[in-house]
Structures are given as structure tokens and as C-alpha cells.
Amino acid sequence: MTLRIGLDARCLNTGFIRGMGEYVSAIASRIQAGGDVDWVFYGARPDLAFHRPDGCEAAKLVLADIPGDRFKTWEQLALPALALRDRRQVLHCTATTLPLWQPVPTVVTIHDTIPWDTGEFLPPGFYRDRLLPLAYRRCAAVITISEHSKRDILRLWPALAPKVRVIPHGVDDGFLTQTPGALPPELAARGIAGPYVLYVGGTTARKRLDWAIALHGALSNPGVQLVVCGVPQSAHAGHIEALPPALRAQVVFTPFLPAETMPALYQNALVVLYPTLYEGFGFPALNAQAAGTPVLMSHVSSLVELAGPGSIALDPSDEAAWLEAYRATVAHRLMAPAPNLQSRAWANRFDWAHSAQAHRAVYQEAAKQPG
């Protein structure tokens, strides 16, 4: 039987794809590859590009520009109304939020509890603290991406226990199959000369870009670059100006890069720095290991579940341990840059096909519930 699924695809209706978009695109394309799915993708910005998942070129796309508060009005009223109009069996809200009104069975992916634990993304108030928890109780199922996120969800809302399904993300095949070679010209054109260390993350305080920069400064090796990926280009000048003068020639801020260049960016790095204080999953830690590149990461939250043979997991507050591990890893990689094959084999267990299959099972279960 064909499943008629509506997808909150705002994360694909944007200028650049981030982790959320990678997740939604990977799931949709792999479920589509299995056939018997009728997708409708919903976005809110007709003025921006929409990045269709592979294989979903024929799927219906609805970009509805709603007057007023685009976020809450679109999400709370337009999205469920459109799903009802389009006769969807299931509506999947993919980014932690969902409508209170659920005229069709609704599945939500809660990636983490950061909005409630830190106030990041969503401010305290009626919407975050009253409406969303009530909507969670009404929904057909909750998907989350790690055992740690599940524990955090149940810490806040224990009654959701029967609804929660843990479905880890996968790793893109390009990271697993990337072969060693010269740095691609499109990366060299961005000022990356190598040897370099890679930081992937934004400027949010918990990501600790400042920590990564300070750690690199303490490395005291002017021949090694620090490549910072994930900071909006509009903010580059300010960050460069804030750097210590001695580091300005060593730190390269890249614009957002095409997905197809990312495996080479990871594999050509000496090491990936991931000093974040909290993650619901942690794509950079997994991508690094899939490419065979060591990753220095904080031993916190969901990253504990991603501590494979290519990782060095550290107490996030132990500066001396970070510096010692950083110096030793850089020195080793300068002499022996070959990918870690054990690391790559371990990362292969994170399979988007399995994740998609588990999502499909949740959809099938939800479709049996009354709207």
C-alpha cells in the first residue's frame, strides 16, 4: 500500500543545507528508493531555493508564504491544514516543533532538549513550555536520534515513554568511500593550503569556537592551518578581526561548502576538533571517523555513543589534556596521514538505509491511528 506522507521540509527550503537538512534529505531519498511512497514537501519560503532529495524530483512541493508570523502561523495552522487538504496519512514534523492541531496522525522528530535546557533556539514562554509539550502528548510518535536524547526527553516528559523511538542518523557514503588524494582545487581556492586541522560548527557558545582557536594557538605550529567551517560568511570579518594577530595567517574561515566536497575536506585534515558541550547527535564526530580522520571531541551527551576507534574523547574542561592530545595527534598525523581503516569500519554501522527503514516503520504504525 502506498504511504501518503507530508513532510515539514523547511530545513530544505533554505540557502544552505545544514545537519537537519542532511537528515531529512537522506531519509526521504532512501525511503523513496524503496517505492510505494507519495511525498508532499512543505516549505514556508517561496523566495528561497528548495533542495529536493535525490530521487524525489516528481514529489509535490508546496511553498506556502503565510502573512504575519511566518513561523508560528505557518506551523500551527497552515501546515496541518495543508496536510489535511492533501489527504496525507501521516505528517512528519522533522525539527522538534509541531502543531497543536493534528487533523492527521503526526510524527515529530525531537533532536534534543537544548531549547529547554539552555534557552537556545526557543525562548521560555507559552509556546515552548505549554503548547509544544501538549502537542507532543497528542502526536502519534516521537522519533529521536540517540539514547542520550531519549533520556533527556523522558526527563522532561516521562509520559512520552511509550511514543519514543530511537533511530540514529546514518553517515553519507561519500565519507566512507573517499580515497586519499590531493586537496581538490575547489578547496584550495578557499585558501586551504594544508596541513590543516578542521573545526566544523557554528558560533553558538556551546560549540566553543573560541576554545578551538585558543587550543590551536597553544599548538604553536605556524605551519598548520585551522580551517573553520560552518560560520556564516557575513561573520567572517568580525571573527578574523578578533583573532590574536599571530594567528590571523593560520586561521581560514570558509563559506558554506557543497556537500560533495565535505568528504575530501574531512579526510585531508590532520584532525577534526569538536569541543562542543552538548549535541543531540554529532555529525562531525561521525563524519570524521567515517573518513578515517581522528577527532578530538568532548566526552559529553550523545557523543559518548559516537566514541569509536577514531575518536579521542576528553573531559571538556581539561585544557591540559586537550592540548596534550592535540599536539600528539597532529605530530602523529604529520608523519602518518593514512586513513584509519578500523575507524571507517566502525562508522559503517551508521547506515542511512537502516534509519530510513525504521522511519518507514514508524510511518506505517502512525498511519493506522485515527487523526
Give the start-to-end residue ranges of the domains of the chain.
3-170+351-367, 173-347
CATH class of 3-170+351-367: alpha beta
What pLDDT score was predicted for residue 19? 84
Distance CA 42, CA 24 (A): 12
- Neighbouring CB atoms inside 10 A of 130's CB total 11
Q: What is the mean pLDDT of the chain?
A: 93
333 pLDDT above the threshold of 90 = yes
Side-chain-facing half-sphere of 313: CA atoms under 13 Å: 16
337 pLDDT above the threshold of 70 = yes
At 334 the three-state DSSP class reads helix
- Read off φ and ψ for residue 369, nearest 5 degrees: -90, 150
10 pLDDT above the threshold of 90 = yes
323 pLDDT above the threshold of 70 = yes
Q: How confident is the model at residue 5 (pLDDT cuts 50, 70, 90)?
A: very high
In 249-311, alpha helices (H): 262-267, 283-291
- Is the Cβ–Cβ distance between 297 and 208 less than 8 Å? no
149-168 confidence digits (pLDDT tens): 999 999 999 999 999 999 99
- Is the Cβ–Cβ distance between 80 and 104 less than 8 Å? yes
What pLDDT score was predicted for residue 68? 55
What pLDDT score was predicted for residue 55? 93
What pLDDT score was predicted for residue 234? 84
**Buried b / exposed e along 209-228 (16+ C-beta atoms within 10 A):** bebbbbbbeebeeeebbbbb
**Average pLDDT of the segment spanning 290-316:** 95
56 pLDDT above the threshold of 90 = yes
At 345 the three-state DSSP class reads helix
The whole model's pTM is what?
0.91
70 pLDDT above the threshold of 60 = no
What pLDDT score was predicted for residue 105? 98
* Superfamily (CATH) of domain 173-347: Glycogen Phosphorylase B; (3.40.50.2000)
- Compute the residue count for the chain: 371
124 burial (CB, 10 Å; 0-12 / 13-18 / 19+) is exposed
274 pLDDT above the threshold of 60 = yes
67 pLDDT above the threshold of 80 = no
Distance CA 183, CA 234 (A): 26
304 burial (CB, 10 Å; 0-12 / 13-18 / 19+) is middle
Instruction: Please give the radius of gyration of the chain, using alpha carbons only, rounded to the nearest integer.
Output: 21
What pLDDT score was predicted for residue 132? 97
- Neighbouring CB atoms inside 10 A of 341's CB total 11
The DSSP letter of residue 249 is T
**Average pLDDT of the segment spanning 245-251:** 90
What pLDDT score was predicted for residue 371? 63
370 pLDDT above the threshold of 80 = no
- Neighbouring CB atoms inside 10 A of 195's CB total 16
Alpha carbon separation from 188 to 16, 109, 222, 270 (Å, rounded): 21, 37, 18, 16
**Average pLDDT of the segment spanning 129-155:** 97
- Give me the percent of the chain exceeding a pLDDT of 70: 98
**Average pLDDT of the segment spanning 125-143:** 97
